[in-house]
Amino acid sequence: MFEQLDKLLNQSYDEMVEIRRYLHQHPELSHHEVETPKYIADYHRTLGHHVREGVGERGVVATLKGGKPGPTVALRADFDALPMQDEKDVPYKSQVPGVTHACGHDGHTATLLVLAKILHSMQKDLEGTVVFIHQHAEELEPGGAKPMIEDGCLEGVDVIFGTHLWATEPLGKVQYTTGALMAAADHFEILVKGKGGHGAQPHHTKDSILLGAQLVQSLQQVVSRRVDPLDSVVLSIGSFVAQNAFNVIADSARIIGTVRTFDTKVQEHVIHEMDQIINGVASSFGAKATFKYSKGYPALINHKEEAVFVSEMASATPDITEVEHSNPQMGGEDFSYYLQHVKGAFFFTGARNPEWTEVYPHHHPKFDIDERAMLHAAKILGRLTITAFDRYK
């Protein structure tokens, strides 16, 4: 069946590119997707699949029942874009000002749609059911995965797989891990309240900027001195805003940032240590500080057996030149929620063109992919699906 799968996918590559470029020209922001889910649903209905729209708000779930009974395999692709201006000089440049697909979700959707078409053409030989999960709002909390799960997208699913086209790794390379692949992505906010005054009379004030600066510096002790060096933690300050007049000492300041962890115990320890430092530093200034911590997507933890399965199928896929058990990434992904409910794995499919002299990372205004990576991803996901029907009986 793999030869037939590859042949049909190769023949449909131009369609895959056409879909991806259409979606790239018509991006929609997280939680505001309207036309994209309609496009996806119409494509599946044309194939004759059972389709549910508005799943968990804006998601689409399509189901293909094979000619023979068997396990149910879910495949997931996200379809939201980012609030950025597309700065690429290409014919398929975004036509929506201030919105672009700068993370490859258009490619994920095109990959899954065409794979659905090919698997449908092989329907009578499939020994199970395929659930195509098209997810909205991966880029913006609370995300689309959790509400889609609550709305039943995983009902009856035995195993789930997903991939991310990874533009910083070369075409032909696949990365996976047998455990943590991506981190929990949390954010925090610190509101500092001191006492403002004239810049010429600092002794009559409680300088919130000085206090904030001390907090920025002191919080780095959490990672360097209060967490086991063997535990991976990132604590980054992303914004520090206060009064902007040159001769005014600000009475308040706002600091926001992110924390990335892989272990929930480490996560809780970091929160506790941050709270201790913030309260202690504020107290030493005779000021006040309010600490708000919001947990984002949990860490993405692959199931070991399914991750090894990914490596096996990737290694057997034409044009895949390297399969690497990689280090975890500190980025976040709400595919993690699916893995909390069913067995499965997530992996990276290299999408960097070997001839590009400059590579732009994800979330960059000039981000792009080598579209051949979509074909690689489809072939791997197809192999996983077909083989899983026998593997999970």
Contacts of 306 (CB under 8 A, 6+ apart): 159, 161, 343, 344, 345
pLDDT given for residue 238 in this prediction: 97
DSSP for 216-282? HHHTHHHHHHSS-TTS-EEEEEEEEEE---TTEE-SEEEEEEEEEES-HHHHHHHHHHHHHHHHHHH
pLDDT given for residue 204 in this prediction: 95
pLDDT given for residue 195 in this prediction: 95
pLDDT given for residue 389 in this prediction: 98
Query: pLDDT tens digits for 183-193?
Result: 999 999 999 99
pLDDT given for residue 119 in this prediction: 98
Whole-angstrom CA distances from 94 to 17, 61, 201 are 15, 26, 52
Query: pLDDT tens digits for 202-236?
Result: 999 999 999 999 999 999 999 999 999 999 999 99
pLDDT above 90 for 244: no
Distance between CA atoms of 370 and 352, rounded to whole angstroms?
6
pLDDT band at 321, cuts 50/70/90? very high
Residues catalogued as catalytic: 80, 138
pLDDT given for residue 269 in this prediction: 98
Query: pLDDT tens digits for 145-193?
Result: 999 999 999 999 999 999 999 999 999 999 999 999 999 999 999 999 9
pLDDT above 90 for 87: yes
* pLDDT (average), residues 94-101: 98
pTM: 0.95
Distance between CA atoms of 302 and 316, rounded to whole angstroms?
20
Nearest residue to 111 via CA among 33, 27, 19, 10: 19
Query: pLDDT tens digits for 68-81?
Result: 999 999 999 999 99
Quick one: what percent of the chain has pLDDT higher than 70? 100
pLDDT given for residue 212 in this prediction: 97
Distance between CA atoms of 201 and 247, rounded to whole angstroms?
10
pLDDT given for residue 128 in this prediction: 98
What is the average pLDDT value for the chain, to the nearest integer?
Answer: 97
pLDDT above 90 for 243: no
Question: Which residues in the chain belong to E strands, given as ranges?
Answer: 50-55, 59-65, 72-78, 129-135, 159-170, 173-176, 180-182, 184-193, 197-198, 233-242, 248-249, 252-261, 288-297, 300-301, 322-325, 343-352
pLDDT band at 108, cuts 50/70/90? very high
**Structural domains of the chain, ranges and CATH numbers in brackets:** 2-182+299-391 (3.40.630.10), 184-297 (3.30.70.360)
Distance between CA atoms of 177 and 310, rounded to whole angstroms?
9
Query: pLDDT tens digits for 17-38?
Result: 999 999 999 999 999 999 999 9
